[in-house]
Amino acid sequence: METLPISLKNTIISITLIFFITSKASSSEIISRFQEYLRINTAQPNPNYYEATDFILSQAKSLSLESQVIEFVNKKPLILLKWPGLNPDLPSILLNSHTDVVPVETHKWVHQPFAAHLDSNGDIFARGSQDMKCVGLQYLEAIRKLKESKFEPTRTIYLSFVPDEEIGGHDGAEKLADSDMFEKMNVAIVLDEGLASPGEKYRTFYAERSPMWTVIKATGAPGHGAKLYDNTAMENLLKSIESVRRFRASQFDMVKAGLKAEGEVISVNMAYLKAGTQSPTGFVMNMQPSEAEAGFDIRVPPTADQVALERRIAEEWAPASRNMTFEFKQKVSVLDKSGNPILTATDSSNPWWGLLEEAVRSAGGKLGKPEIFPASTDARYFRRKGLPAIGFSPMANTPILLHDHNEFLNQEEYVKGVDIYVSIIRAYASYKEETKPTAAKDEL
């Protein structure tokens, strides 16, 4: 870490004196509340948002936090909690998490995915245990410990529990970030989700890859399945798929060789392939189709040349000369309005980064090198507003199982993560320096 300002050093010195806060709540109570949240089925496409909302509000009430439920979109509640600071003129802190989780294939799990089963190793099996119900509850448990220690925040702390992150976040975090309410919250820093780490060092993320979901279509003359034609739809599409495969391999080779991290390369994965003529009894085998298409999940880091990639798609992967077209089902720019990569600074220009590093260390944790998140999170909506946003989920010594079968988190890692957040929230809420012009205060 680079040399920090004197004011920041003083804040860090004060927080490093506290290594552990004794909580009246036992670990078993902490785990029990986590299991209760995990048992609420909020899987897409039909998440039980209202049951989750009732649970979060009950926790907020037990902590004497101010609460508000907003529905920017009908039947998609967003929960906003507030712990007022002693100096409300200082910009606030936002701790963001999402309440929805991805679907499950129940028969492929060793334990029921919404039972929150705790096995003999202390592993809690549940959808959302890593992504990211753990973080949302760890925020609340950390606040519980801070309140029990009689800590009073200098800055106001907000907690947002948003819907729909797993399907793009457009009706959740994006609506919040674009709202007048968010302007009035006067946020200085956002914490959001990260990833588990198989090693002992926690992972931190300062940016993320942007989706550029692409559908490539090919057309050609239909004909008998036995005849050899030039430029058939399938032939042209297969040429494109092979070109995409070579590009993918070149990017992946850099990761496998250790030259770049996964988040630093352009990832391309074929999501579907569609072609053929169907009859009531199945696909017709003796007809060549006149149309064929493939969908690709492309993720572009902010350090990549997105314009050059679009040119490659137009000229190499879907050239008009081969009767091919393409369209973007979703394309998010990797640059801000000024043409700069959308990144959160990780040097001394960003005091929040230094505070997080020291807070994690003072709580006994270790951090790895800052990374670009390989997929997308709600943090992107706040970074686009020019705010620093850090992705962080305190899960060390844990296999990466988000969106996978048998997702789990060990109870000891979960409880340790609570203490990590105690240290981070204390440091952030105690930082007294101005970080940006003060906006109007809200009336939550």
Cβ atoms 160, 96 nearer than 8 A: yes
Is 442 a residue of the active site?
no
Q: With both helix axes pointing from N to C terminus, report the angle between 6-16 and 411-430 in degrees, rounded to the nearest 10.
A: 140
Residue identified by tokens 């169907």 is 278
Beta strands 187-192 and 389-392: pairing type? Answer: parallel
CA distances to 1, 307, 363 from 367, in Å: 12, 34, 12
Task: Write down the catalytic residue from 131, 165, 166, 413.
Answer: 165
Interacting residues of 404 by C-beta distance below 8 A, sequence separation 6+ = none
Beta strands 187-192 and 92-98: pairing type? Answer: parallel
Cβ atoms 381, 177 nearer than 8 A: yes
Q: Cis (ω within 30 of 0) for the bond into 181?
A: no
> Count of CB atoms within 10 A of residue 107's CB?
6
Bridge partners (DSSP) listed for residue 272: 295
Q: With both helix axes pointing from N to C terminus, report the angle between 411-430 and 27-38 in degrees, rounded to the nearest 10.
A: 100
Task: Write down the catalytic residue from 100, 293, 357, 419.
Answer: 100
Residue 88 DSSP symbol: T
H or E stretch covering 140: helix 133-148
Residue identified by tokens 């948002």 is 49
Sheet containing strand 187-192, strands side by side: 66-70, 78-83, 157-162, 92-98, 187-192, 389-392, 204-208, 371-373
CA-based nearest residue to 142, from 396, 354, 431, 428: 428
Is 178 a residue of the active site?
no
Residue identified by tokens 């050899």 is 228
Residues designated as active site: 100, 165
